[in-house]
Structure 1
Amino acid sequence: MSDPKQRQIRFNAFDMNCVAHQSSGLWRHPRDRSRHYNQLSYWTDLAQLLERGRFDGIFIADVLGTYDVYGGTNEAALRTGSQVPVNDPILLVSAMAAVTEHLGFGITAGTAYEHPYPFARRISTLDHLTKGRIGWNVVTGYLPSAARNMGQTDQLSHDDRYDVADEYLEVLYKLWEGSWEDDAVVEDRETGVFTDPAKVHPIEHHGQHFDVPGIHLSEPSVQRSPVVYQAGASPRGIRFAAENAEAVFVGAPTVPQLAATVAKIRDALEAAGRDRYAAKVYTLLTVITDETDEAAQAKYRDYLSYASAEGALVLNSGWMGVDLSQYDLDEPLGNIESNAIQSAAANLSAATGEDGSNWTVRDIAEHTAIGGLGPVAVGSGATIAQQLIDIQEQTDVDGFNLAYAVTPGTWEDVIEFVVPELRARGAYPEEYVEGSLRHKLHGRGDRLPDEHRGAQYRVGARATA
C-alpha cells in the first residue's frame, strides 16, 4: 500500500541534440537511437514516451563549440562523437509540443554570444506555441572554442561571465515582464485598433553590456517569463541561481556531496529573500534497470563494453578546463583550478576510491564513461525505486535529471520497471497537474511569484517602488 505522506519524486530526461551525450561510445550499441538525433521522429517519439511516463520535462543541453581542450584539438571529440556534431536545441520544441499536452521543455541557451533582444522574442514565441510549457536553462558558457569562433581570444573569467548574465537577465525581465500590459491587445474590429499603444512601454535599458531602449516584439505569453533553469553549483553559480532559478540541476558523485550542495542552494534561496523550496532541485543520475538485479547488472556490463574511455576524457577535459591528455592514466588528479565548470572540477578533485586515495585519470574515464558527471544506479525496479527514495530523504533533493546510457531505451526501462515501483510507494505522480510548466512545478500559477527577482520589472512595479 502506498504511503500518503511520501514525498513524490520528479523526473526530467536529460538529452542533447547530438549522439551519445553523456555516455561516450554508446552510440555504437544496437539499442541506441541517438544517431537519429537529426530526425524529427526521434524527438517526437521521445516526447510522447516521456509524457506517458509523466516526466516533468525534457532538459536539452547544448554547447556552442567543440571539446578541444583534450590534446589541444577537436580531433578526439570528432573521432569519438563527443557532443559533436551538435544541432540547435530550440528548433526541436515546436514539433515535440505538437504531439504532447503536458511535457515541459527546458532548453539550453547561453548569455555570452547572442544579444538578449532577439532571444527574448524567440522564447516568447515558444511559450505561445507550447501554451506555457517553456523553461530556459541559463548557461554562461565554458568552452574556449566557442569564444574563439565568436571573435574573442578566450571566454571571460568564470565570475565575470555571471556578471554579464545578471544584466542579460535584467534586460529579459524588462522585456518579458515590463513592456506589454496584459490587456494591451484589444482586437477592436470596429475601430481597427489591434494593440493600444499606450499600454506598450519601451524598457529604456542602458547598462554596462547592453543598450535596449525599445519595446518587446511579442505580446504577453502564458508565462511571460519562461521557467528559469540553472545548472551552476559554484559559489557564484549558486548565488545566480538563488536570485533567478525556479529549477536547479546539480551533479555530485556521492550522497554526502549531493546533500551539501542541496543545502547550499536552499540556504542561498533564503538569503535571496525566497522560500527554501522556491526552486526544484534535480540531481544528475543514470539508471540502468531490468526485471531483476542480476539482469540489470548484466545490462550494465554490456553497456560498459561499448563505452569509450577516450571520449570520456574528452568530455571531462572540456567540463573541467584541464587537458587530461597531459596526465599519466594512473596519476591522481588532485586539486584543479578551473575556468570552466568549477563544480565539476571540485567534485572530481575530491572524489576518492575505496582506499581513500584521490581518483586517477583512469578512474575518471571509467566512472564517467556512462552517465558523465553523475552516478550510475544499477538494479531492479524495486531496488532503484528504494534507492531514489533514500537519496531524496538523505539529501532533500526534489527529483532526478535522468541521463541515458542508450536512448530511448534507458527511459523506456525506467518507465517500465521503476515508475510502477515508485507509484506503489506513493512516490511518483499518477497524472499531470493542469496548467503551465511553472504551475506544474510549483502550484502557484503561471506567472513569476512576487518575491522573484523578475517581478520587480513588471509593468508598473518600478513606478510603484
Structure 2
Amino acid sequence: MSIPRMRLNGLRQNTVGHTAMGLWRHPDSRAHEYRTVRHWVETAQILECGGFDSLFVADALGPLEVYQGRVDAALRDGIQTPTGNPLLVIPAMAAATSRLGFAVTVSTTYEQPYALARTMTTLDHLTDGRIGWNVVTSALDSAARNLGLDRQIPHDERYLMADEFMDVVYKLWEGSWEDDAVVRDAVAGIFADPARVHPIEHRGKYFSVPGIALSEPSVQRTPVIFQAGSSPSGSAFAGKHAEGVFVSTYKAEMARDLSRRFRAQAKAQGRDPHDLKIFAIATVVTGATDEAARERLADLQSYTSLEGSLARWSALLHIDLSGLDPDTPLAHSETEGIRGLVDVFTTMDPDRTWTPRTLAEFVGVGGGGPLFVGSPGRVADEMEAWMETAEIDGFNLADPIPPTGHREFVDLVVPELRRRGRVWDEYEGDTLREYFRGKGSPRVADTHPASAYRR
C-alpha cells in the first residue's frame, strides 16, 4: 500500500504581520522586506527546493479596526496594514522558479468577473499553468466602507453573488474560445479565427457580460479553485466549486469534522469527494533536537504582542476585545461571541483558564492552527498523526519569521519527510492542477461545474 503524499503549501500575506503578531521584531525576521521582489523570489525558491505544491498568498482588502474601534493597534504591529497587492508579486516568483504553484486570494465581492477572468488567465500564461485562485467574499466592514458600500453585503448574499460570479468566469475561461481558435496563419493573415470565438451572452441577477473573453485560453483554462469558508454557505460553495479547501482549527478532530462536511457537500453535488484536497494551517518550530526546538519556541514567544494578537482576533470575531481585563477569565464574559470563542478553546484544553492574555499567548506564534515543535523526527511524527486523524491531504505552513521559518523547515524537516516517502523528490506534472489530479490532467475534472461550459 503506497504512503499518501503530504501536500505542502507555504502560507504568506503581502504584509508584515499575518499569523504571528509582534514577531517582525525578531532579529531573524525579514518580514519588513515584503515590499521587495528579492524577498518573494527567495521565498518561492525555498519552497520549490522543499517540494511544496504552492505558495498561498492570502489577502484582505480592509484594515483591522475592530479593536478599540480604530486601526492603531494593527498599525503598530503591521497586522495586514501596510499591505501590498498579492497578484503583482506572482510573475516575479514564477520567473525565478519552474515548478512551484501559486494560489492567490481575490474577492468576488469587489471585482468584476470579466476583468478578473483576464487577470487570472494572464497569470496562468505567465506561470505556465501554475496559478490557483482562493475565492473569498470578504468579511471586513472596513473593506466595504472603503470600496463604495455604506455597509457590508449580508453574508449569504455575498455567496449568491459569488456563485453567479463563478458561472461567468467559467463561461469565459471554458466556453468562449475553442481550443483551436488561435490558428496563427501568417499566409492567410488570420491570428484568431472569429468563427471559433464566442460571446457568452450572460445576463444574470448580479452580472451582465454579453461579450467574448479577452484572453486566449491558458493551459489550465480555469485556475485551480481554492476556498476557505466553513459556514453553511461557505461549505456548500466549496462542495460545488473548490478543488482545494483551507481549514483553520487547533484540534485534529475538529479538522476531521470539517473535512467530512466539505466532502459530503462535494458528493451531494455529484463530485468525487476526494477531488477536494484539504489543507490545514499549521506552524512548525524545529531544531536539531527537541530541546533546541523548545528553546527556539521560547525565543519566538518572547517577541509576541499581546495587543497585536487581540487586535487580530477582534477582527476575526467581529468583537472588540480591548474592553476586557487581560487576566479576567473569558468564561465570565456576557458576550455571545466571546462565549463561542471560549467553547473552541476549552474543547482543546478544558483544564486551562482562558483569559485574553493566555489566548493571545497561545495564538502568538502559531495563530490559526496546530503548532508542531521538536526535532525533525518529532515534527514529522506529529504532522503524520495529525494528517491521519484530521483526514486531510496536507498543510498550509505559516512562517512566523519569514523567510527563516520556511527555510528551517525545508532544511531540517523536509529531508525526514522525504525519507518517509511523504514529500516528493521530483514534481509530477507541469501545472498546479496536475499536482492535484495527476500528470496529464491540466483541466478541471468532468464533474466540476466549469466543465459544463466546454465547447
**Shorter-chain TM-score tier:** over 0.9
Q: TM-score, normalised by structure 1?
A: 0.94
The 1-side partners of 2:46 and 2:349 are apart by 38
Q: Give the 5 Å matches for 1:48-197.
A: 48-197=45-194
d(CA) in 2 for partners of 1:345, 1:354: 15
Distance, in Å, in 2 between the alignment partners of 1:110 and 1:231 is 12
Q: Say what the alpha-carbon RMSD is for the aligned residues.
A: 1.7
1:220 to 213, 217, 221: 217
Match of 2:375 among 356, 372, 380: 380
Structure 2 residue 237 is the aligned partner of structure 1 residue 240: yes
Change (3 A) 1:125 1:87: same
- 1:457 equivalent to 2:437? Answer no
2:443 corresponds to 1:447: yes
CA contact (8 A) 2:330 2:339 kept: no
Q: Single out whichever of 389-398 and 347-356 deviates more from structure 2.
A: 347-356
- Aligned counterpart in structure 1 of residue 295 of structure 2, from 294, 298, 311: 298
Counterpart amino acid of residue 131 in structure 1: D
Identity %: 46
Q: Relative to 1, partners in 2 of residues 1:326 and 1:164: Cα closer, same or farther, differing over 3 Å?
A: farther
Shift of 1:345: 9.5
Taking the aligned partners of 2:225 and 2:183, their CA distance within structure 1 comes to 29
Task: Give aligned pairs, total.
Answer: 451
Corresponding residue SS for 2:366: coil
Provide, for residues 345-382 of structure 1, a one-character-per-residue CA deviation record: whole Å limited to 9, x for no partner.
96664221644467332232111111222121111100
* CA shift in 2, pair 1:404/1:215, >3 Å: same
C-alpha separation between the residues in 1 aligned to 2:14 and 2:342? 26
SS, match of residue 156 in structure 2: helix
On the 8 A contact 2:372/2:383 being kept in 1, the answer is no
Task: Name the amino acid aligned to 1:332.
Answer: L
Match of 2:283 among 286, 293, 296: 286
Q: What is the aligned partner in structure 1 of residue 198 from structure 2?
A: 201
- Is the Cα contact below 8 Å between 1:288 and 1:296 reproduced in 2? yes
1:266 partnered with 2:260: no
Q: SS of the residue aligned with 2:374?
A: strand
Partner of 1:462: none
Deviation at 1:331, TM superposition (A): 3.5
Shift, 1:235, TM fit? 1.7
CA deviations 1:261-291 (Å, max 9, x no partner) are 1111121111111111101100000000011
1:351 aligned residue: 345
Q: Could you tell me the TM-score, scaled by structure 2's length?
A: 0.96
* Structure-2 residue corresponding to 1:391: 386
Give the direction of change, closer, same or farther, for the CA distance of 1:202–1:355 in structure 2 (3 Å limit): closer
Confirm or deny: 8 A CA contact 1:319 1:345 kept in the other structure.
Answer: no
Instruction: Give the aligned partner of residue 341 of structure 1.
Output: none
Counterpart CA distance in 2 for 1:257 and 1:238 is 15
Given the superposition, is the C-alpha separation of residues 307 and 65 from structure 1 closer, same or farther in structure 2, using an over 3 Å criterion? Answer: same
Task: Give 1:457 deviation, angstroms.
Answer: 1.7
Unaligned runs of 5+ in 2: none
Residues 1:16 and 2:13 are matched in the alignment = yes
Aligned equivalents of 1:240, 1:49: Cα separation in 2 = 33
* 1:336, distance to aligned residue in structure 2 (A): 6.9
Distance 1:349 1:204, change over 3 A: farther
Aligned to 2:41, what secondary structure does the other structure show? Answer: helix
How many angstroms apart in 2 are the aligned matches of 1:335 and 1:263? Answer: 33
Of stretches 417-426 and 222-231 in structure 1, the one that deviates more from structure 2 is 417-426
2:409 to 409, 414, 427: 414
Quote the offset at 1:337 in angstroms. Answer: 6.3
Look up the equivalent residue of 2:157 and give its one-letter code. Answer: D
Question: In structure 2, what is the equivalent of residue 35 of structure 1?
Answer: 32
Q: Please, which runs of 5 or more residues in structure 1 have no aligned partner?
A: 339-343, 460-465
Deviation of 1:10 (Å): 1.1
Distance 1:279 1:336, change over 3 A: farther
Q: CA 1:360 to 1:158, structure 2 compared with 1: closer, same or farther past 3 Å?
A: farther
